[in-house]
Amino acid sequence: MRNAAELIKENNQKRELLNVENEKIYTDVLLYIRTDLRVDEHAAEELLMDLLDHLIEAQENGKDAQDLFGDSLKSYADELIANMPTENKRNIILLFSTGILGLVGWFALSYGILNGVITIFTPVDNKFALGSVSLILLTLLVVGVFGILFIFRMIRSSVFKPKYQEWKLYVQSALYAMVAFAFVLGVGFFFDGIGPVVQVQWWVLLMIGLTLLGLSKGLSRQTLNQ
């Protein structure tokens, strides 16, 4: 049996066989189903592959996606989702863990690189208050979880709508990113100096960032290979 990663790869290749209009409609259905965290990922990918095979066959016979899916794409997709098995809670936790580890990893990596560059020109006092760092990490965790939920919700609300309305998704995502960034900076500023202080060199931050990104990548592969 093919795992989710193999199904996704095959799906990406087969979608190239669709014409522009059919690909747009199918991609909307695909995004709507994939961003529903309630459904089992493997079952969803198998269903999407079946839909794609039927759509390719229909296209070869002179039909289009609306002939296959009907006029109400959202109702059709909701009906498919209602009949699919629910996702294992462990996989949902893995998904969020992957996102959080990646977010913290990029943060540590970027901070380490920035400090490494600055130390070339001037000494840097890399002292960190453990209490403050813990609060910042907790803030990143909350921001990351809400960020994943927010982005998925925005994607689900934008599909099945005219293309000219897609700009709203980008604006809302950019606003969330700016607010989240300002919130994290605010926590770091107002809760500075809490707890014991330790000194961490820039290369240690670099290694921590790379390690967390590696763990994030490993968890992602583990989820897809199930």
Confidence of residue 11 (pLDDT cuts 50, 70, 90): very high
- Could you tell me the CATH number of the domain that includes residue 62? 1.10.1900
Q: How far apart are CA 137 and CA 205, in angstroms?
A: 14
Number of separate domains in the chain: 2
Do 14 and 113 reside in the same domain of the chain?
A: no
Q: Are residues 98 and 150 in the same domain?
A: yes
Amino acid identity, residue 110? S
Residues 6+ apart with CB under 8 A from 41: 4, 87, 91, 223, 224, 226
Do 157 and 200 reside in the same domain of the chain?
yes
Query: Is pLDDT of 211 > 90?
Result: yes
Q: Which of 82, 113, 128 is the last residue of a domain?
A: 82
Say if residue 69 is in the same domain as residue 149.
no
Same domain, 93 and 201: yes
On whether both 71 and 156 belong to a single domain, the answer is no
For residues 104 and 141, give the distance between their C-alpha atoms in angstroms, rounded to a whole number: 8
Domain end point (choices 82, 105, 125)? 82
**Contacts of 149 by beta carbon, 8 Å cutoff, 6+ apart:** none
Do 71 and 108 have their domain in common? no
Q: Which of 82, 104, 124 is the last residue of a domain?
A: 82
What is the reported pLDDT for 223?
64
How far is 172 from 50, CA to CA, in rounded Å? 33
pLDDT band at 48 (very low <50, low <70, confident <90, very high): very high
**Rounded average pLDDT over 101-127:** 84
For residue 92, which of 164, 21, 145 has the smallest C-alpha distance? 145
Q: Please spell the DSSP secondary structure of 113-146, one letter per residue.
A: HHHHHHHHHS----EEEHHHHHHHHHHHHHHHHH
Residues 195 and 142 in one domain: yes
- Closest by CA position to 41, among listed 98, 6, 85: 85
Q: Could you tell me if 97 and 208 lie in one domain?
A: yes
- Cβ atoms < 10 Å from Cβ of 223: 21
Residues 178 and 214 in one domain: yes
Give 52-90 pLDDT, tens digit per residue: 999 999 999 999 888 888 888 889 999 999 988 887 767
Residue the block writes with tokens 């989240």 = 180
Q: What is the pLDDT of residue 152?
A: 85
**Structural domain boundaries enclosing 29:** 4-82
pTM reported for the whole predicted model: 0.74
Highest mean pLDDT among 7-11, 66-70, 200-204: 7-11
Residue bearing tokens 């919130």: 183
Cα–Cα–Cα angle for 39, 44, 46, nearest 5°?
Answer: 155
Residues 174 and 219 grouped into a single domain: yes
Identify whether residues 64 and 96 lie together within a single domain: no
Question: Higher-confidence residue: 133 or 87?
Answer: 133
